[in-house]
Structures are given as C-alpha cells and as structure tokens.
Amino acid sequence: MNYTCLVPLFTLLFALFVSGSLKALNPYRHSWELLLQEPSSGPYTREDAAAVQELWLTQNLDHFEAGDNRTWQMRYFRNAKYHKPQGPMYIFLGGEWTITPGLLSTGLTHDMAVENAGILFYTEHRYYGQSWPFENNNLTVKNLKYLNLHQALADVAHFIRYQKSQSANLTHSKVILIGGSYSGSMAAWMTHLYPELVAAVWASSAPLLAKADFYEYMHRVENSLTLSYGSNCTRRLERGFEHLVNLFNENKASDLLRRLNACPNYNASDSLDRISFFSGINNYFAWITQSYSAYLPQLCETLLSQHSSDAESLLTFLELLYTLDQRWNAYYCQDFSYKSMLQLYSESSDHSSGSRAWFYQTCSQFGWFTTTGRSAINTTSGTSTFGSEVPLWYFEQLCRDAFGPEVGPATLALGIAQMNSEFGGHDFDHSLRYRQVLFTHGELDPWRVLGYEGGCQALVIAGYSHVEDLASINVQDSVPMNLAKLRVMSFLRRHTEVI
Ligand SMILES: *[C@@H]1O[C@H](CO)[C@@H](O)[C@H](O)[C@H]1NC(C)=O
Ligand SMILES: *[C@@H]1O[C@H](CO)[C@@H](O)[C@H](O)[C@H]1NC(C)=O
Ligand SMILES: *[C@@H]1O[C@H](CO)[C@@H](O)[C@H](O)[C@H]1NC(C)=O
Ligand SMILES: *[C@@H]1O[C@H](CO)[C@@H](O)[C@H](O)[C@H]1NC(C)=O
Ligand SMILES: *[C@@H]1O[C@H](CO)[C@@H](O)[C@H](O)[C@H]1NC(C)=O
Ligand SMILES: *[C@@H]1O[C@H](CO)[C@@H](O)[C@H](O)[C@H]1NC(C)=O
C-alpha cells in the first residue's frame, strides 16, 4: 500500500466525523419557544386542580363557508366547583400556547369565580396545544388556511352559545372574557364582532395595533433595562453590540464564532446568516424582558461583573449563554445559520410548540416583527443599544421561505390594513363597547406601546412586564399590583350583577 492511498481514506474518516458525530444544536429554539409560553397563573397544587375537567367540543373547520361541513375537536377546561345557577361564566381565552389547568385552579380569574359563584372555562386556540384541526397537526400551507383571527373568534362565539344551550343553569349567566397578550386582544375584539355574547372583558397586556415593523419593541426593551437597573447596563450593552458589528464588518468574526462553538456551516459574510445571529440575541433579551422582568437587574449585574472592557463583556456573556451546557463536549456545535432560524417555522418543526402556527399568524395578519433597522430615529441617545442589524425584509424573507411566495409583504400589508380598519387599532376607544373592556399593562412590557394605555379603562402597573398580573392577590406583591387587581375585580363585578 503506498502513501497516497491513505489520503482519501483520511478525508473519508474526517467527513464521517463531521457529518456523523458533530451534532448541530439550535441556539434560537429556547428563547423563541419560551416567548410563546402560556401566561403564569402562579403556583398551584394537584388538589387545586382536582375540580378542573378536560372536555372537547366539535367545531366547524370553516365557520364562514356553509357548504363546508368538516369539523375538528377543540379542547377546553371547565371548573364548575363554585358555580351556582345563573352565576357568571368566566372564560379565559387560550392564545398561542398549550393550555394547562393552572388558570382554572388558581389566579385572579379563579378567585373571582369563587367570590361570585361563577363557572370557569378555558378554551384552547385552534392549531395549538391539542386542538388540532388536521391529523398530527399537519401544518402544510394548505392546512394553515383556517388559522386566522376571525375563525378563532368564531370558535369562541360558538363555544359560548353551545355552553349556554347545554345547561339551563347558564341561560342568564353573564359572560366575562379574560385573556393575556394575543388572547387579551381576542377578548377585546370579541366585543366588536359578538357584542351580544359578552358582558365585560379584562385584557391583560393586549396589543391592539397590527404593524409589520415593530421597531419600538427593542427600544422598549432598552428602556426597561434602564428603568430596572440604570444606564450603565444599556451603555455596556450598546458598546458590546458595536463591537460585535465591527467584528462582522471587518471579517474578524472567526474568533467570536469559535468561542461560541458555532457550526462550520455558518457564513459570517452571508447577510441572512449574519442577521439571524443578531435576531437571536434580540429574542433572548426580549424573552427576559417580557417574561422574567424580575431577572433584569441580575442580567445587568452579570454583564457588568465581567471584568473585561465594555466591548468585550457582551461577547463573554454570549459565551456563557450559548456554550454553558456543552462547553467541553466536542460533539456538539451551535448552528447560528439562517437555516436554523427557518427550521423553527418549518413543516418539520415541532408543531406542539406552536412556533410555526404563531409565525404564520404574524406573517399573515399581525406583523409584530422585532426589527432594529430604524434604530437611530427616536431614542434619547440617538443610537440604539441593540444595534441596527435586523431589518424588516429579513422577516419578510422568513415568511416567504416558511410559507411560500403567497405569504409575502403584500399579503401581510393587506392583512394588517384589514385588521386595523376593522378593529380600530389604537382607536379602540371609539368602539361602542369600549366601556366593557378593562386593559392592564406592565410598565416594563415592550408590547405596551401597541396597546391602549390611556383613559380610565387602562391601568399601567409599575415595575412589572408582560401578563405578570394573572396570579392571585398576594401580600408579597407590590401595592400598585394589588391595587390594580382590586380594580379589575371591582370593574368586572359591576358587569356581573344580574339585573
Ligand atoms: C358533508 O357534506 C358532504 C357533501 O355535501 C356529504 O356527502 C357528507 O356526508 C357530509 N359529511 C358529514 C359528516 O355530514
Ligand atoms: C401532511 O399532509 C400532506 C398532504 O396534505 C401529506 O403529504 C404529508 O405526508 C402529511 N405529513 C404528515 C407528517 O402527516
Ligand atoms: C344546575 O344546578 C343545580 C343546582 O346547583 C344542579 O343540581 C344541576 O345539576 C345543574 N344542572 C346542570 C345541567 O348543570
Ligand atoms: C455607573 O458607572 C459609573 C461610572 O462608571 C459609576 O460611578 C456608578 O457607580 C455606576 N452605577 C451603578 C449603579 O453601577
Ligand atoms: C458566504 O456568503 C457569501 C455572500 O453571500 C458568498 O459570496 C460566499 O460564497 C459564501 N461562502 C461560502 C463558503 O458559502
Ligand atoms: C419620533 O418621535 C416623535 C415625537 O415623539 C414622533 O412624532 C415621531 O412619529 C416618532 N418617529 C418615529 C419614526 O417613530
């Protein structure tokens, strides 16, 4: 055997090692899936949940096409433990998540049912959790046709009519809808389309304005960091981002990528790969700000405790974030590529997580893309902490690549225009039913900017973020939080009294 024969053999072995053993992890999955989590009800025990029944209701696939008799099974929870005949119906609307018994076992909605002898329901949104219109929740583009706001609101309307028709004990019950985030918006919008079915609504952290370029989101994240900790934190972050951008611009990203254990397929010169990296970091900060606002000061502490320069500290932080679990494991790498981001929304993604379904809803009706392209326009510093690396066209491309050319910018623009003209966007207060809806927002919640924050129908709770007000009243919570909850209770009580 001569020496030259060994060379191909060596190449072959190397190729086997790379393709067979080096497993690619998706660094984007965690934050994105956590952004779609069910709002927290607060802790509850098995006994608390004992009275919650899981039930199913047959729904039409298409509520607006009389000739289409296809149906599917919607899951819902029910807790009738406290109910007295004609007591109010409290219906918590499910959003882009899998429902659990928590919100019917504890939390403010539950407590109001106890106080007012009400019955509790919790509906699961079509295409999420176990409420699948198609077998295996098969989310081909064709099947996604029936995933939109209007079908989902019609599901809720049918649900209310069905429950009322099933029990003489509910005939005169007042219906109170409660929702958080998107499902809070749904609850508010129900008063437009089905006013005869709804007595009052509590919408927590509900966005009302559809909008493609949601550049305000990351500005609000920046403000929330400053509010929670101070400008030292955002200043350091800003320098850290500048440094990262420079590394990419000067073709010096290879050391950075090695430190983050990036997979070899990542191409720092490719704009889609590059934007995905920055969008992934944005999603991490978005998730913390939205769902773990109490952790913001600690996040800043961690950033500031890095004994490196401002420029270096973000890199060190990202190293901790992305490589902590598998730093010493040579068989894994982080796939920061565009392909990895797209994978979250692809047909082969995990459909129980809701990521593809929710992304479809944003690509077709709501937008709400967290860009950083319009950074320099309106911040006090004239710059933006999170850089300006993530433009709107990136999300438009993701929508097209995930759902085909029909779900492009023109489709979205039309969907948004229809949404805002039908429901009024920020002008929700022009609605006839406006006085039946109470909005609550967390001061630190970036979504607040798309909601209704003014007037006596809205409360902004200092020191809290997104849907952090659903749990029961608790002495350990702040006074503003508990006062807001008391106001929610008295508002809804006024609408449940049987005349
Ligand atoms: C649905 O409609 C089709 C055609 O009108 C009919 O053949 C079929 O039996 C119907 N299915 C159900 C479940 O009613
Ligand atoms: C989804 O449905 C399509 C046709 O509608 C079919 O070709 C495909 O195999 C299905 N996928 C799964 C995972 O069931
Ligand atoms: C109505 O309420 C009464 C008294 O609580 C109860 O006995 C009865 O089973 C209820 N009926 C239905 C249909 O839930
Ligand atoms: C912020 O930084 C300044 C100057 O570097 C320092 O004097 C100040 O103590 C810092 N503030 C906090 C809250 O860390
Ligand atoms: C990386 O991306 C650039 C820009 O798209 C492209 O020209 C180059 O060929 C890519 N490199 C590799 C190795 O794919
Ligand atoms: C910037 O802020 C001003 C004043 O608050 C506002 O009128 C303007 O619409 C804002 N511009 C953008 C692009 O948000």
The secondary structure of 268-337 as a DSSP string is TTSHHHHHHHHHHHHHHHHHHHHH-GGGHHHHHHHHHHS-S-HHHHHHHHHHHHHHTTTTT-TTEEE--S
Is the minimum distance from the CB of 73 to ligand 4 under 6 angstroms? Answer: no
Using 50, 70 and 90 to split pLDDT, how confident is the model at 346? very high
- Residue 247 pLDDT: 96
What residue type is 462 in one-letter code? A
Is the minimum distance from the CB of 377 to ligand 6 under 6 angstroms? Answer: yes
Using 50, 70 and 90 to split pLDDT, how confident is the model at 329? low
Q: Which residues are CB-contacts of 164 (< 8 A; sequence separation ≥ 6)? A: 170, 171, 173
Is pLDDT at 327 greater than 60 in this prediction? no
Is the minimum distance from the CB of 71 to ligand 4 under 6 angstroms? Answer: no
Distance CA 274, CA 205 (A): 32
Q: Which ligand is nearest to the CA of 382?
A: 6
Atom of ligand 6 nearest to the CA of 378: 1
Is pLDDT at 498 greater than 70 in this prediction? no
Q: What does DSSP assign to residue 91?
A: E
Q: What is the pTM of this model?
A: 0.91
Is the minimum distance from the CB of 85 to ligand 3 under 6 angstroms? Answer: yes
Write the pLDDT tens digit of every residue in 61-79. Answer: 999 999 999 999 999 999 9
Angle at which helices 296-305 and 216-228 pack, to 10 degrees?
80
Write the pLDDT tens digit of every residue in 253-300. Answer: 999 999 999 999 999 999 999 999 999 999 999 999 998 888 999 999
**Mean confidence (pLDDT) of the chain:** 91
Q: Are 209 and 426 in contact (CB under 8 A)?
A: yes
- Residue 489 pLDDT: 97
Is the minimum distance from the CB of 378 to ligand 6 under 6 angstroms? Answer: yes
Write the pLDDT tens digit of every residue in 140-151. Answer: 999 999 999 999
By alpha-carbon position, which residue is closest to atom 5 of ligand 2? 140
Atom of ligand 4 nearest to the CA of 232: 1
Distance CA 121, CA 177 (A): 10
- Residue 59 pLDDT: 98
DSSP line for 348-401: TS-GGG-HHHHHHHIIIIIEEE---TTGGGS-TTSS-TTTT---HHHHHHHHHH
Cα(378) to centroid(ligand 6), Å? 6
Q: Are 399 and 344 in contact (CB under 8 A)?
A: no
- Residue 410 pLDDT: 97
By alpha-carbon position, which residue is closest to atom 7 of ligand 4? 232
Residue ranges of domains in the chain: 3-35+212-416, 48-208+426-496
Using 50, 70 and 90 to split pLDDT, how confident is the model at 1? very low
By alpha-carbon position, which residue is closest to atom 3 of ligand 2? 140
Cβ neighbours around 325 below 10 Å, total: 9
Q: Are strands 71-79 and 119-123 parallel, antiparallel or unpaired?
A: antiparallel
What residue type is 475 in one-letter code? V
Instruction: Find the residues whose C-beta lies inside 6 A of ligand 2.
Output: 136, 138, 140
Question: Which residue out of 84, 86, 169 has the highest number of ligand 3 atoms within 8 Å of its CB and is therefore the one to mutate?
Answer: 169
Write the pLDDT tens digit of every residue in 86-102. Answer: 999 999 999 999 999 99
Using 50, 70 and 90 to split pLDDT, how confident is the model at 384? confident
Cα(20) to centroid(ligand 3), Å? 62
Where do we find the tokens 């990136």?
A: 394
In CATH, which superfamily holds the domain spanning 48-208+426-496? Alpha/Beta hydrolase fold, catalytic domain (3.40.50.1820)
Using 50, 70 and 90 to split pLDDT, how confident is the model at 417? very high
Is pLDDT at 81 greater than 90 in this prediction? yes
Is the minimum distance from the CB of 166 to ligand 3 under 6 angstroms? Answer: no
